[in-house]
Structure 1
């Protein structure tokens, strides 16, 4: 979100400085792991759809500008029990916004895509325009395009404070102090360090991703294997075709629900992480459940309702925040960056972002 905001601000001729604590790109936060799902229909809430459509447009524009391959269309499956949330809500979202889709039984999914083995009586919504983004390349593209427009981007510099005074915003780092008219905070799991009014609404959770080598690799190629979100009786999983690195990638949303301090999180995957993920693959993607190729940790930063915070920061006049993307935000990064730039410069945006208001949580903490 930060690299996208820097790109849009610089595109509009604004003197822009981007500060990154780690490398560009890096593997310490929520924006790595080779692939990220993009889909137009949103089971989380139909209100996301216009922002998803704008995201597709902006990713394609960024591809054209930079020459990088960022967006890959594979089709996508949203599946689960007929009385669950994922499939019915995905279908409702598609119908509400006239999105191209098919409704399939689990048996029909398995027949069409042999890598799948979901329960025959599950229901699935297939969206032919779903696919995946390459997150590291997306970040590089936004950073390089921002730099080409005059933005200054600094890595390996840690922000220690964001404060306001009569002259605007003061940002302190381990290398110095900067003054600006406006600041945009997109610090992921670290955002709450700078946003005390939202600190207990932004909860970092440890996430683990797995790549297993298929025993029948062609079944998991991008032209044969749609990205998926699959709701079981108790959990939700998501996955991708083989791409760029060995193995078929998948994970469970929120993994074990392990709330963490991002600076102290166990980064090395554990045996129990692998065993839980492998058990799911053996049940529902058996020809994908070969030897483990790779395990990787990342972070979700969850809000109480699972929706984003994209708004002016509470109690701050010159700080805009993008945070709490709750494990489903990366696809929107191109459009969220545009919205953050709008809000920072004009205090408003033409995009539909009421769902992401920072004040929606009220104060139910008994204070």
Structure 2
């Protein structure tokens, strides 16, 4: 994933993008033709804006009446005693729906461990900066049961782990649209744990929306005002 991100950044810079890293966005405002982004270091003005805030969406897109669910998601690498899960043996990415939940993983890249995680469940969090990064008591039992039932040859004790976040919408689909109240602002959020693979086309759509105000891609089903997203007032 890191290599894919680096490749996108390299292409963007090659086309003239200027990166401003290490800054915390405090707020943005849109009044008529003027858009301003305020960070802890500076103020930026622009004619259009793309907001893709990840799990910081409640604070950076407060005007969207969406019932967000920010969920802590642990990922694990389990030792393997067989080469059947190696990429060199033809193993691929997998996603299984089971009575105990939905689980996914990737083939072994190092010949020693296999990445496996649960797509369902998860502990809701209120602050993305205060997420518990340790292994919790609720994290491993569903995975251990899944491995014992479906993936022989993997140890049920992980070699390592990391923790990421899902930003879920009520229908688990993305929001990719112009802001309902600010047409010069394009938004992308609520990727619900399955957005990264669509990065190239999402970027193209957002560029269309920001620069042209429209896109030829069929994104109506990702509207920010579609039924089922709105929280009751």
Q: Report what 1:28 is aligned to.
A: none
CA RMSD between the two structures: 1.9
Q: Contact conserved, 1:320 with 1:344, CA < 8 A, in 2?
A: yes
Q: Relative to structure 1, is the Cα distance of residues 366 and 167 closer, same or farther in structure 2, using a 3 angstrom cutoff?
A: closer
Q: Contact conserved, 1:310 with 1:320, CA < 8 A, in 2?
A: yes
Matching of residue 232 in structure 1 with residue 112 in structure 2: no
The 1-side partners of 2:133 and 2:151 are apart by: 26
Select which of 199, 204, 212 maps to 2:70: 204
Q: Report what 2:130 is aligned to.
A: 264
Q: CA deviation at 1:290?
A: 5.7
The 2-side partners of 1:209 and 1:308 are apart by: 22
Q: TM-score, normalised by structure 2?
A: 0.92
Q: Contact conserved, 1:195 with 1:313, CA < 8 A, in 2?
A: no
Q: CA deviation at 1:177?
A: 0.3
Q: CA deviation at 1:272?
A: 3.5
Select which of 73, 84, 87 maps to 1:219: 84
Q: Contact conserved, 1:254 with 1:300, CA < 8 A, in 2?
A: no
Q: CA deviation at 1:363?
A: 7.8
Q: 3-state DSSP class of the match of 2:160?
A: strand
The 2-side partners of 1:363 and 1:155 are apart by: 32
Q: Report what 1:173 is aligned to.
A: 39
Q: Report what 2:113 is aligned to.
A: 247
Matching of residue 149 in structure 1 with residue 22 in structure 2: no
Q: CA deviation at 1:149?
A: 1.7
The 1-side partners of 2:3 and 2:69 are apart by: 27
Q: CA deviation at 1:194?
A: 1.6
Question: CA offsets, 1:177-223, max 9 Å, x none?
Answer: 0000011011100122121132643321110111001011x111114
Q: Relative to structure 1, is the Cα distance of residues 333 and 156 closer, same or farther in structure 2, using a 3 angstrom cutoff?
A: same
Q: CA deviation at 1:364?
A: 5.6
Greater displacement, 353-362 / 293-302: 353-362
The 2-side partners of 1:235 and 1:290 are apart by: 17
The 1-side partners of 2:230 and 2:25 are apart by: 30
Q: Relative to structure 1, is the Cα distance of residues 332 and 365 closer, same or farther in structure 2, using a 3 angstrom cutoff?
A: closer
Q: Contact conserved, 2:103 with 2:120, CA < 8 A, in 1?
A: no
Q: Report what 1:308 is aligned to.
A: 174
Q: 3-state DSSP class of the match of 1:279?
A: helix
The 2-side partners of 1:309 and 1:315 are apart by: 15
Q: CA deviation at 1:275?
A: 3.5
